[in-house]
Amino acid sequence: MTTRFSKVWLIWGGAILLALGAGLGGRLVWEDRSGNGALIAADLGGPFSLVTHTGAPITEADLKGSPSALFFGFTHCPEICPTTIFDINAWLEELGPAGDDLKVYFVTIDPERDPPEVLGEYVTAQSDRVTGISGPPDAVRAMADVWRVYYKAVPLDDGDYTMDHTSLIYLLNDDGQYAELIRYGEAQDSAVAKLRALLNS
Amino acid sequence: MGHLFRAFSLFLLLAGVAQAHDKRFPSMWVDDLLIHAPVLKATPEGAPVAAGYMGIENTGDTDEVLNSAEVEFAHDAQLHEMVMSGDVMKMRQIEGGIQIPAGETVWLKPGGLHLMLMKPSVALIEGKKQFVTLEFENAGTVRLPFVVAGLDAIRKLSDELHHSHDN
């Protein structure tokens, strides 16, 4: 009876802790969107096991060793994804050799339509610095979830669909931990300053 | 008198636009509509989507609607709007066409309204032209040349044109 009681307590206690944790995480993200607070490194990221656009396996361990920029998008994206890649190219050009250590990852939030070959064609046509990340849909979505990335399919007239998604670029230090973010449309000076700080840390 | 006044305002308007104008991206008339710098974004072959932009200035006194667009070099052309909701990018298909009230200019430009071209069958190469058919409520159907340009040129262009019209 005592054992059963403590088990029940464990389950309920765990559930309450989880709910508190989720609430806290949500609050932090919300704060950040309102422009007041900052995201906390511990809240973002986690283990994943996916493949790059060349088909090579990639996990969270591969995000260590050099600083990186991580963002989420999809290939059927006419505006924000090509613009983000275009901007990153311009920032890297301004950084010159100082930016050589930066790795750039584009994770698809539309894995069904973006298998590695498709993603590879898309990113390599626009940049020689961006590595696409894809994989089985559930595993890809799990990664988007641990990075608190919002994504939603929106149907179009012709039976096709487009995706709404978070437009942030996360900057990760060489421990693979969240360090800073760059917003969509951020001025080049500000973005380059953040990248410089990341590369010098 | 009315005609003279109208011709004069048009002259002023065109003179203003001409200042900011890049000769590579000419404006053109469609009835009472002045279409500014119709461009397509340079897109590599095999890309699933492409985008088109322009300014539509309604110099007439009747409200206008851009009902639809059509192209031969892509599976489908749709009217879309991108909006940012916090840090989330949302894409919406426009229902009921794009409204262009009399006397106003509506801009299709990066980060907002645009023509969304699904599954283009060719690469869109900078400097080349492609034709887009636009169907307006009043001005009817017209087939216009759109020049292909890089994103940097398109951004510069829409900034310049936009500013020259805000004055």
Please give the share of chain A, as a percent, with pLDDT higher than 90. Answer: 73
H/E run at residue B71: strand B64-71
Is the pLDDT at A95 greater than 50, yes or no? yes
Q: Is the pLDDT of residue A14 over 80?
A: no
The 3 state secondary structure assigned to A48-84 is CEEEECCCCEEEHHHHCCCCEEEEEECCCCCCHHHHH
- Closest C-alpha to B161, from B68, B22, B8, B9: B22
| Per-residue model confidence as pLDDT tens digits over A110-165 | 999 999 999 999 999 999 999 999 999 999 999 999 999 999 999 988 888 999 99
- How close A184 gets to chain B, by Cα (Å)? 8
Q: What pLDDT does residue B3 have?
A: 61
Give yes or no for residue A12 having a pLDDT over 70: no
Q: Compute the count of residue pairs across chains A and B with CB atoms less than 8 Å apart.
A: 74
For all residues of chain A together, what is the average pLDDT? Answer: 85
The two tokens of residue B151 are: 């994103």
The answer to whether A133 and A107 are in contact (CB under 8 A) is yes
pTM of the model: 0.77
Query: pLDDT tens, A137-151?
Result: 999 999 999 999 999
Query: From the CA of B134, how many Å to the nearest CA of chain A?
Result: 18
Q: In what order do the strands lie in the sheet with A103-108?
A: A57-59, A49-52, A130-134, A103-108, A68-73, A169-172, A178-182
CATH class of B2-166: mainly beta
Chain B: which residues have CB within 8 Å of chain A?
41, 44, 46-51, 75-76, 78, 80, 82, 84, 86-93, 110-111, 114, 116-118, 151-152
- The Cα–Cα gap between A183 and B62 comes to 40
More confident residue, A176 or B21: A176
What does the domain layout of chain B look like in residue ranges? Answer: 2-166
From A34-43, A71-80, A90-99, B113-122, the region with the lowest mean pLDDT:
A34-43
| Interchain contact, B84 vs A167, CB within 8 Å | yes
Residue from the list A33, A83, A121 with its beta carbon closest to the beta carbon of B110: A83
Class (C level, CATH) for A42-200: alpha beta
What are the 10-residue block averages of pLDDT along chain B, 167 residues in total? 56 49 83 95 92 96 97 96 94 94 95 94 96 97 96 86 61
Hey, where are the domains in chain A?
Answer: 1-38, 42-200
